[in-house]
Amino acid sequence: MTPSSATHYSPNDNNDDHTAIDHLIVGLGATGLSVARYLARKNKSFAVVDSRVNPPAKADLFAEFPQVLAMFGDFPTDLFLRAQQLIVSPGIAVATPVIQQAQQNGATIIGDIELFVRDAQAPIIAITGSNGKSSVTTLVTEMATSAGLTAYAG
């Protein structure tokens, strides 16, 4: 990563250590910021990377987490290889070479939904697809309610 192609932020400007990174958030749009907030609420440590020099949620990230390790521009291979878990935003292909390298190095690769579902305390019905999700969600919610279950749709 060259200085002209990336922006580096670090609380102590000490990214050259080789300590493990528990959670690396890959992508800093709405999803990445949501994951950062979630991990912070859970008192989990994290770092953030985005291939864009000025991702959409950059200002919000630093307003809420001024001490976070974050790098923007070319993906920093060293951070990926130090990560225990990557939480990859939907717009980033998991086939990206540096993500594949991290996985081969032992990192788990998940998305935001999997992260949130792992902590869920209730059964979840996930409805995906490009057409009909709202109708199917309404139908499933009404079926569960009719069966005497408490159901929430969202």
Q: What distance in Å separates the CA atoms of residue 152 and residue 104, rounded to the nearest whole number?
A: 38
Strand ranges for the chain from DSSP E = 6-9, 21-26, 47-50, 69-73, 83-88, 108-110
Structure-token match 């980033």, residue found: 92
Total domains, the chain: 2
| Position 153 in a domain | yes
154: which 2 tokens? 């969202």
Q: What distance in Å separates the CA atoms of residue 87 and residue 107, rounded to the nearest whole number?
A: 10
Span 23-29, mean pLDDT? 98
Please indicate, yes or no, whether residues 74 and 41 belong to a single structural domain of this protein: yes
pLDDT for res 129: 83
Q: What distance in Å separates the CA atoms of residue 76 and residue 73, rounded to the nearest whole number?
A: 8
| Position 149 in a domain | yes
Please indicate, yes or no, whether residues 99 and 127 belong to a single structural domain of this protein: no
pLDDT for res 11: 47
| Structural domain containing residue 136 | 122-154
Please indicate, yes or no, whether residues 130 and 147 belong to a single structural domain of this protein: yes
Indicate whether this model's pTM tops 0.75: yes
Please indicate, yes or no, whether residues 113 and 37 belong to a single structural domain of this protein: yes
Quick one: what percent of the chain has pLDDT higher than 90? 73
Please indicate, yes or no, whether residues 98 and 135 belong to a single structural domain of this protein: no
98-149 pLDDT tens trace? 999 999 999 999 999 999 998 888 888 888 887 888 999 999 999 999 999 9
Structure-token match 């890959």, residue found: 26
CATH of residue 69's domain is: 3.40.50.720
pLDDT for res 16: 55
Contact 116, 39 (CB under 8 A): no
Please indicate, yes or no, whether residues 27 and 103 belong to a single structural domain of this protein: yes
Please indicate, yes or no, whether residues 30 and 99 belong to a single structural domain of this protein: yes
pLDDT for res 127: 87
Strand ranges for 32-103 from DSSP E = 47-50, 69-73, 83-88
Please indicate, yes or no, whether residues 14 and 68 belong to a single structural domain of this protein: yes
